Structure 1
Amino acid sequence: MSKFLGFEFWNTVARIILRNRILILILIAACTVFLGLQWKNMKFSFTEANLLPDDDPINVQYHAFLDKFGEEGNVIVLAVNDPKLFTPENFTAWNNLSRELRSSPEVEFTVAVGDLMKLQKFEDPGRFEMVPFIQVKDPDSLQVGAYRDELFNNLPFYEGLVYSRHSNTVQTAVYLDKKIVNTGKRKSFVVEDLIPLVENFEEETGMNVYVSGMPYIRTLNAQTIIDEIGLFIGAALLVTSLIFFFFFRSFRATVISMITVIVGVMWAFGVLGLLHYEITVLTAIIPPLIIVIGIPNCIFLINKYQQEIKKHGNQAKSLQRVITKVGNATLLTNLTTASGFATFILTESTLLTEFGIVASINIILIFILSLLIIPIIYSYMNVPREKHLKHLNKRWINGFVNWMEKMVKHHRISIFIISVILLAASIIGIYQIKISGSLLEDMPQNADFFKDIEFFEEEFDGVMPLEILIDTKREQGVMKLPTLKKMEELQNLIAEEEQLSPPISIVNLVKYSKQAYYNGNPKYYQLPTSQERNFILPYAQGLETSGNNLLTSFVDSTGQYARMTTFMKDIGTREMEEIEEDLWPKINEIFPEDRYSIEMTGKALIFQKGTTYLVRNLIISLGLAIFLIALLMAWMFRSFKMILVSLIPNILPLLVTAGMMGFLGVPIKPSTILVFSIAFGISVDDTIHFLAKYRQELKANNWKIKRSVYAALRETGVSMFYTSIVLFFGFSVFMISSFGGTVALGGLVSATLLFAMLSNLLLLPALLLSLQKEIANKDVLREPAIDIIPAEDDSEENEEEAYSKM
């Protein structure tokens, strides 16, 4: 292995690259075209993020529920909270809106004021029939007023369905065809049909329509993700190019770097298409991530090339040494970065596994592209002029390096004291971190549709569906009066929970049937007695809304399973766990386990359980990442003590960031838990560069510790500063996102990397100097498995020979 990654190997690589420049460029162009053709396979996610493994019991329960009742998140709701609705013109326009929506092939049925049916008693012969609630096509003011009074005062069945119990808000529920809810047809309906119709209604009536429901939220949320991909890529290119130019003051170097990362972005999209992965809120950040991670590769390669040119002016020798002397270091640093992302593959969550696979593959690909494109393009250009090399002697950079050296030399005790204080404060902050499993929390809170979500939460006590599946363990067991009474008791129990809406189930239908039987008197909105059961329940089974039997929405075809739907507010994991702890003992008391089986499921619950699962598994993944990188360090330096010294400066920034999250109230959630694996994989790169150079300086300086530490600090400090600043501002780009999770990810990774840079430039050298007797001897620092940074070799024979046939 040492030969594989040794000087001879990289000398061979350099020879191949520089002798086959045209062929390599053709291959890169061909791969770019091939991967560009894969873009057509990219598709955007039409489902919510499911963080649980497919075989997790909670997921199995959820899919069993879907098998019985179909997709549960298929309702779009429209609401108006305006007294002007109850004028003849506006009332008719509102009913016409629901009629137009109902005529769409994507809609199964609607539940609106204009659709309502009521059970009415007829004489001669005596019978009951379902009749329309609105029996006049163009009602006048008196009739509209009568409809309003009857709806709010006499029809409790429609409370929460058609009107709010808190105010005079009127709602229309649009039930989409369950087959199209998770397809592109849902987007077409929302964007091309629903939104234009709502806008026309608002323009004609001057009333504001609030729109919500999971299909609508998911569609606009996905559209926001799509819109932000281009924004991220453009911003990342702009920020990194400006910083790169500021450091190098060279248009040529900047353009070459931009070409490299743009090709990397094209390949990233191609890999997504090739693997047929969906673009989610996570995979959407991979292309700009490649820009942010790719630019440091360009900095190391171009900086080395310019240093070599300044040293001896020989382009052949410089290009050769760019590959042979930077190849090992950049390969290993990219491997550690990729390993930070690759740990997500072990979570067993499809969403995170795909993210980990695509990110780690593309990090290796951007390394390969950098190593190929930069030397080849420079080989066709003139040798950099003196003005291109001025940045190597910037006074402010030298001042920064001198400050670091001064701190390490004279203020090591202060560095240790500050580190201990930060560690103690971080531990305190960590104990204040909360876990959040909110499905809505990371959505763009400034968007109009999010403001509508807040309205529905206030008026209808939530928008996130929570389903309760009741198995009576016998056919037709649902319609038994004892079962209905138990279900009513459970509904009353749930209605007492402040964070949950009053549930809807077959119980509501049966109670409405009894009310209708007694001439619509609202005081009879209750379950029938055992004497009334036989002649009232048949009406419940025939209760229809606009030709669709609502009974099938709440009871399966066998009559064994019943569905109870409630809606929860945007609460976190801890609050939901408290609700479950309160409900389950009472549920088990109401429904004896020997006669009933009760399950709680639904998208919101799945997401919350997924968050808890994710936190547990990503902590394991982070530990595995630390272990793998520790093994890599052991292989490189062959010293257990060096492993400990190298890990301390990289773990401390993670703890500081976690402490900040606790103090700032940033919860642990899917987006923020990613920070630690990403940041650790990137920050350890600086440690590898520094320790590799430090070991080389030890041998060159006859094992003189202080001279070697300061030499390594001066040599690597500039590059570490450059790359850290690029990474800091590059990840800060994600803070322009409208998604709270992406903002948190960008801000926290940026802060962690900044801490990591300071830790590697101050704490790591201070540790090496303070522990010099324990770790800086030949027994501890034995001959490494590989020379990460090969020793300088002034022999030009191989280098000239490699370049002679270019």
Structure 2
Amino acid sequence: MTRNIAFWRLLGALALTVFFAVIWEGLRFNYDFENFFQQDDPELAFYQEYRSSFENDNDYLLLALGNAPDIYDSLFLEKALALEKELAGLSKVASVVSLLQQEEPLIGPFGVRLRPVLDWSSQEALETSAQRLSEDSQWKGNLLSESEKYLLLFIKNQQMIGKEAGDSLYVAIESAVRSSGIPDYRMAGKIKAQGVFVDLLQQEFSLFMGLAGLWVLVLLWVLYRSWWAVLLPFTIISLGIFWAGSFLLSTGGELDVMLVMQPPILMVIGLSGLVHFLNHYQNSLRKGMPKEAAVASMCKELTLPVFLTALTTSLGFVSLYFTQIISLRWFGLYTGLGVLFLFLALITILPWALYTFPPLASSANLRWARRWERTLQWIFGRMQEHKTAISLGFIGTSLLAGVCMAQIKTNGYIVDSLPEGHPLKEDFTFFDRVFDGSKPLEVSLRVNDPSRNLFDYAVLLEIQKLEDFLRENYKTGNLLSPLTLVKGIHKAQNGGNPKAFSLPTEARYERMTPMLDRWIRENEWGLWTDSLEAGRISARSPDNGSFLGHRQHQRLAQFVAEELDKDLLQVRLTGTSYLIDKSHEQVTRKVFAGLGVAFFLVALIVGLLYRSWRMALIAMVPNVVPLICVGGVMYALGVDFKLSTSIVFAIAFGIAVDDSIHFMTNLRMLLEKGMGLEEGIRRTFLTTGKAIILTTLILSSGFLVLAFSELEIPWFTGVLVSLSLVVALLADLLWLPLLLRPLKKHLENHVDPINPDRQKLPK
């Protein structure tokens, strides 16, 4: 490349920077719970139709108010009632349900009268209420804790509330609770979790950018000890990240729990590519090559291999697009494109900078280069002496790790991303432990027989069997369904006796039909459609993880298939929690499916580079080892497959394969010059080996920046990807040369007869 071409490339980079600066829209953060649903899952389409008939199952906030030794204190109850009325009057609050204003009907000879469930108008009334509630399973565990120390306020907010409106509503609710005079309280729900996650994302973004930027500056100074060799590369990398970020935001993207990792990841990947360019440039200068010739040689010999490594890294990220999970798809796509933006920044700005600024080489650099060469010579010698042991070591380790990896289960939780001990996670755990749970449980009901409806006695018997199974299988207490209305009327007809909260005999049921018909028509509960053909069972259950959840769902499906009359009732599990459980279950399979596509594409690139399928297969072998080893380490540490860990494999492969590409590309150039395979491997080991070691140290230490995160996804990504890169380095330096030796004749026997000095590649 000439100085003139470098200048025109620089102008192109400046023009692109101005364009992205003009369209810059500012940072946007988001945490949409539904971005983790499988978009191609027919269950999602069913749920979207289901909630159009009923409601979104997670638009609520759980508020527990505590009082010691129990809630039966008139002063506490007055404060709680005042708080409930204030909350009910807030904009965007649809309703507040609690025992404080709950009334239950009592049916007697003179008609229907309503009785407060919790009456504290006098001490005697309060004691009577306390005695009655202690025996009433309808309320215990649901709106009243088993210990009777906590009272639950179930706050329904506006359906499908947006992020900004949800934040404002939660701030208003929290303010009201703080000023209520009740110090012991807990809250959990979507509008709280969403706000906490976005706040964390903003903090994490600032932390990652600060740490990654500082780390890059320090590393550049340690490597090159020149002000321009620190500031200019940092500027190039920053511009590439700016281009990628501006493109993301201008196309409607937002920074979520995944994309918040993009800038530091791009920073370390960009530095890795830059070090390859500068290392080649310095080596040329040490050989006595003029600066202009060194820059031209660098561009000629490294543009293709660095582009190929950028492409393979990009493919690793883009493979996440196959997961069909919005958050993972956009992270993979935008980060993959970001890697290519960084490559563009390198090839458009770096050549001009090297032409313009003084050479980097120095006597100190020369001394370090000699130490590097002596060290690598020693390693190469030891490698020749222990060929069999090295191969057996990698094979044995891979087999052992593979066996361990096969035993890892898939398991995830609703608030998986949060660290242990985080206040929000503790709040969700509190509701799982003290009340029925924090995780919504939804079951769709549909009557198959057109001559019947949900309130046909035979159908109610099927619902009764289903509810009994749900209570046992999901360890939940109170269930709301069409049967709840029937049980409530039966209880009312028996003077409010808690034991009468049950399905009556068919004869008794026939006698309550006139009253039942009136309440059915009012339909204020949202548990059945006006046609009475479809309904729902709604409850909350503890979040015991998707592994147990999957087995619970399987048992439910088996029960429905074997125990319920399909001619009467069609039952289908649905809801946001069920969809998240399915996402955890499916994401591992889809990540590895996408990884298979990435393997194929990278193998195709290597095959085209060498025009040999054998070389493509050999190049892939060392890149399987780090992935298997990461799986083995996960098993040893007790880490499960889930959204936050499965993505590591796609990221790790895309980056780890870069070392193989660099090694194979350099070897290819030496073979084309007529060098034998043995000498070509040795020369590649001594030259490219240094760059591979440096870039691995840069990448692995850079990814460890993510280990400072409070969120689980960045933490696992940082630690496990760093581990995989170190293993990939060992496999590429120690095992790949040994794997290439059996192909000696295959590679050396293809000499062009017209030009014997030019090595032909095998076909």
TM-score by length of 1: 0.87
**Of the candidates 76, 85, 93, which is equivalent to residue 79 of structure 2?**
93
Question: Quick one: which amino acid aligns to residue 418 of structure 1?
Answer: G
For 1:30 and 1:302, the matched residues in 2 are separated by 27
- Please state whether the residue corresponding to 1:564 is helix, strand or coil: strand
Matched, 1:45 2:34: no
Partner of 2:760: 783
- Seen in structure 2, the aligned counterparts of structure 1 residues 557 and 184 have a Cα distance that, compared at 3 Å, is farther
The match for 1:705 among 677, 680, 689 is 677
Q: Is the 8 A contact 1:36 1:266 kept in 2?
A: no
State the alpha-carbon separation in 2 of the partners of residues 129 and 782 from structure 1. Answer: 99
d(CA) in 1 for partners of 2:8, 2:652: 37
CA distance in 1, matches of 2:541, 2:107: 37
- Establish whether residue 470 from structure 1 lines up as the match of residue 445 from structure 2: yes
Give the direction of change, closer, same or farther, for the CA distance of 1:779–1:341 in structure 2 (3 Å limit): farther
SS at match of 2:621: helix
What's the CA shift for 1:441?
Answer: 2.8
Counterpart selection for 2:154 from 150, 173, 178 = 173
SS of match in other structure, 2:473: coil
Unaligned runs of 5+ in 2: 753-757
**More deviation, 708-717/603-612:** 603-612
Paired residue for 2:12? 24
- Which string of whole-angstrom CA distances, capped at 9 and with x for unpartnered residues, describes residues 457-514 of structure 1? 1122432112110101448712223222321221111111254455332322321222
Does 2:408 correspond to 1:436? no
Of residues 734, 739, 742, the one that matches 2:711 is 739
Are the aligned partners of 2:310 and 2:339 in contact in 1 as well (CA < 8 Å)? yes
**1:721 correspondence with 2:709:** no
Equivalent residues of 1:404, 1:761 under 8 A apart: no
SS of the counterpart of 2:47?
helix
Deviation, structure 1 residue 185: 0.9
CA distance in 1 between counterparts of 2:101 and 2:350 reads 67
The percentage of aligned residue pairs carrying the same residue is: 22
The reply on whether 1:273 has 2:258 as its aligned counterpart is no
Kindly state the Cα deviation for residue 600 of structure 1 after the two structures are TM-superposed. Answer: 0.5
Q: Residues 435 and 574 of structure 1 are in contact (CA less than 8 Å); yes or no, is this contact kept in structure 2?
A: yes
C-alpha contact (below 8 Å) 2:31/2:197 kept by paired residues: no
Q: Does 1:226 align with 2:207?
A: no
Letter in 1 for 2:725: L
The 5-angstrom pairing of residues 399-414 of structure 1 reads 400-414=375-389
Distance 1:454 1:179, change over 3 A: closer
Given the superposition, is the C-alpha separation of residues 148 and 776 from structure 1 closer, same or farther in structure 2, using an over 3 Å criterion? Answer: farther
Q: Deviations over 1:651-691 (max 9, x none)?
A: 11112212222232221112222222221111111111112
Maintained 8 Å contact 2:412/2:545: yes
8 A contact 1:245–1:254 mirrored in 2: yes
- Measured against aligned partners, the alpha-carbon deviations of 1:767-802 in whole angstroms (never above 9, x if no partner) come to 23455345444379963599xxxxxxxxxxxxxxxx
- State whether structure 2 residue 167 is matched by structure 1 residue 187: yes
Q: Distance in 1 between matches of 2:474 and 2:571?
A: 22
Determine helix, strand or coil for the equivalent of 2:445: strand
Aligned partners of 1:347 and 1:511: how far apart in 2?
A: 45
1:693 equivalent to 2:669? Answer no
Contact 2:63 2:187 in 1 (8 A): yes
Instruction: Name the amino acid aligned to 1:95.
Output: L
Cα offset for 1:90?
Answer: 2.3
* Equivalent residue, structure 2, for 1:102: 88
Matches within 5 A, 1:209-248: 209-248=185-224
Tell me the residue number matched to 2:755.
Answer: none
Label 1:271 to 1:646 Cα distance change in 2 as closer, same or farther (>3 A). Answer: same
Whether the 8 Å contact between 1:510 and 1:537 is mirrored in structure 2 is no
Aligned in 2, Cα 1:382/1:227: closer, same or farther, shift over 3 Å? same
Using a 3 Å threshold, how does the CA distance of structure 1 residues 639 and 760 change in structure 2: closer, same or farther?
A: same
Q: Does residue 1:625 correspond to 2:598, yes or no? A: yes
Does residue 92 of structure 2 align to residue 116 of structure 1?
Answer: no
Looking at structure 1, the residues matched to 698 and 527 of structure 2 have their Cα atoms a distance apart, in angstroms, of 56
- Tell whether the 8 Å contact from 1:462 to 1:501 is kept in structure 2 after alignment: no
Secondary structure class of the residue paired with 2:199 = helix
| Candidates 522, 547, 567, aligned match of 2:540 | 567
CA contact (8 A) 1:724 1:757 kept: yes
Question: Is the contact between residue 286 and residue 366 of structure 2 (CA under 8 Å) also seen in structure 1?
Answer: no
In 2, the alpha carbon distance for the partners of 1:406 and 1:144 equals 87
Q: Could you tell me which residue of structure 1 aligns to residue 112 of structure 2? A: 128
Count of matched residue pairs: 756
- 2:391 equivalent in structure 1: 416
User: Aligned equivalents of 2:746 and 2:5: distance in 1?
Assistant: 43
Question: How far, CA to CA, are the matches of 2:366 and 2:147 in structure 1?
Answer: 67
Aligned pair in 2 of structure 1 residues 160, 508: CA closer, same or farther (>3 Å)?
Answer: farther
Deviation per residue, 1:190-244 (Å, 9 max, x gap): 1x2122233334xx34x32111133333332333223212222222222333333
Shift of 1:391: 6.9
Distance 2:690 2:747 in 1: 25
Cα gap change, 1:32/1:378 in structure 2, threshold over 3 Å: closer, same or farther? farther
- Contact 1:48-1:218 within 8 A present in 2 as well: no
Give, in angstroms, the shift of residue 591 of structure 1.
Answer: 3.1
> In structure 2, how many angstroms separate the alpha carbons of the residues matched to 1:483 and 1:360?
54
**Alignment equivalent of 1:77, drawn from 62, 77, 80:** 62
- Distance in 1 (CA, whole Å) between partners of 2:340 and 2:202 is 25
Q: Is the 8 A contact 1:343 1:622 kept in 2?
A: yes
Q: Shift of residue 409 of structure 1?
A: 2.3
Report whether the alignment pairs 1:364 with 2:340.
yes
Residue 51 of structure 1: how far off its partner (Å)? 3.6
CA distance in 1, matches of 2:522, 2:727: 61
- 2:648 aligned with 1:675, yes or no? yes
Alpha-carbon separation, structure 2, partners of 1:775 and 1:28: 43
Q: Judging changes above 3 Å, is the alpha-carbon distance between structure 1 residues 273 and 699 closer, same or farther for their aligned structure 2 residues?
A: closer
**Which among 131, 134, 158 is matched to residue 139 of structure 2?**
158
8 Å contact kept, 1:329–1:689 = yes
CA contact (8 A) 2:104 2:114 kept: yes
Change (3 A) 1:274 1:608: same
**Residue matched to 2:22:** 34
CA distances 1:533-574 after superposition (whole Å, capped 9, x unpaired): 356456567779xxx977432112322212112333333444
Q: 2:42 aligns with which of 32, 57, 63?
A: 57
Kept in 2, the 8 Å contact 1:698–1:708? The answer is yes
**Deviation, structure 1 residue 399:** 5.2
Q: Would you say the 8 A contact 2:9–2:348 is kept in 1?
A: no
Q: CA deviation at 1:628?
A: 0.8
Aligned counterparts of 1:550 and 1:235: Cα–Cα separation in 2: 57
| Structure 1 CA distance for aligned equivalents of residues 625 and 549 of structure 2 | 33
Give the 3-state SS of the residue equivalent to 1:703 in structure 2.
coil
CA distance in 2, matches of 1:278, 1:513: 50
Identify if the C-alpha distance between structure 1 residues 384 and 715 changes in structure 2 by more than 3 Å, giving closer, same or farther: closer
Pairing of 1:485-496 with structure 2 (within 5 A): 485-496=461-472
Range moving further from structure 2, 651-660 or 525-534: 525-534
Secondary structure, aligned partner of 2:36: coil
The answer on 1:508 being equivalent to 2:484 is yes
Q: Which amino acid aligns with 1:173?
A: F
Tell me if the contact between 1:435 and 1:572 (Cα under 8 Å) persists in the aligned partners: no
SS of the aligned residue for 1:156 comes to coil
Task: Report whether the alignment pairs 1:68 with 2:48.
Answer: no
Query: Structure 1 residues 536 and 391 mapped into 2: Cα distance closer, same or farther (>3 Å)?
Result: farther
2: CA distance, partners of 1:685 / 1:109? 57
What is the CA RMSD across the aligned residues, in angstroms?
Answer: 2.9
Tell me the SS of whatever aligns to 2:33. Answer: coil
Task: Indicate conservation of the 8 Å contact 2:312/2:658, yes or no.
Answer: yes
Structure-2 change in CA distance of 1:566 and 1:35 (3 Å):
same
Q: CA deviation at 1:275?
A: 1.8
User: Amino acid of the residue matched to residue 52 of structure 2?
Assistant: D
